[in-house]
Amino acid sequence: MSAADDQETFRPPLNRPRVLRAAVAVADANGLGALTMRGLAAELGFEVMSLYNHVANKNDLLAGMVDLVVAEAGLPAADDEWRAAMRRSVLSTHEVLSRHPWAAPLWAGGLPGPALLTLMDAWLATLARSGLDPETAHRGFHALSNHVVGFALQEPGVARGQGGRQDGARAFVDGLPFGAYPHFVAHVHEHLAGRPGGNSFAFVLDLILDGLAAARRDRMGA
């Protein structure tokens, strides 16, 4: 038996989880633009038509990839104090989207799969047991989810800017009329100087949670 025959004999069979994991690896390494059905099939060692036994089409593949990634996020513990539980889960979700920067646009633009539904339901359940009134809990959920996704959508651009756009930013602000937009110019120069700003995601997250906690205290009278 040839080496090629041995490889064929011991090649792991395809299944949906294996296809999705391979697609996530391609997107993590090279971005979604590098992911094609033909290229993914070649990566797995199969013909492209074999993929369609496990994913209906490219959109189904992308939806499955997002859900596989979201499943890495920690759910809020039901027996933890609500604010601490939400903070840990939201920070975990942010870390997941930072590891997989291609996933945020798909989260924002697609229908949720089982893992994302589970995460959103757990967030809603945590806010529901917090003592917030239903309207504030509803708005709080959207504030938290918008912060997670919005920050993740912006983060890759910021990282690219840090990597190669400093000269362009400096030239832009230096070309503005002298004395114009002084606060904006000072802000950009703080970035260019590398001023440490801490974790701005956690900073804004705490502002949201502190606001929700204050609303709860007002409602509960304590």
Query: pLDDT tens digits for the chain (222 residues)?
Result: 444 455 555 677 899 999 999 999 999 999 999 999 999 999 999 999 999 999 999 999 999 999 999 999 999 999 999 999 999 999 999 999 999 999 999 999 888 899 999 999 999 999 999 999 999 999 999 999 999 999 999 876 544 444 456 677 778 878 888 887 888 888 887 777 666 555 689 999 999 999 999 999 888 775
Tokens of 103: 């996933």
Residue 119 backbone dihedrals phi, psi, to 5 degrees = -65, -50
Q: Which amino acid is at 137?
A: A
The predicted model scores a pTM of 0.83
CATH number at 71-220:
1.10.357.10
The answer to whether 68 and 115 have CB atoms below 8 angstroms apart is: yes
Could you please state the CATH topology (level 3) that the domain comprising 3-55 is classified under. Answer: Arc Repressor Mutant, subunit A (1.10.10)
Domains in the chain: boundaries: 3-55, 71-220
Q: How many CB atoms lie within 10 A of CB 21?
A: 14
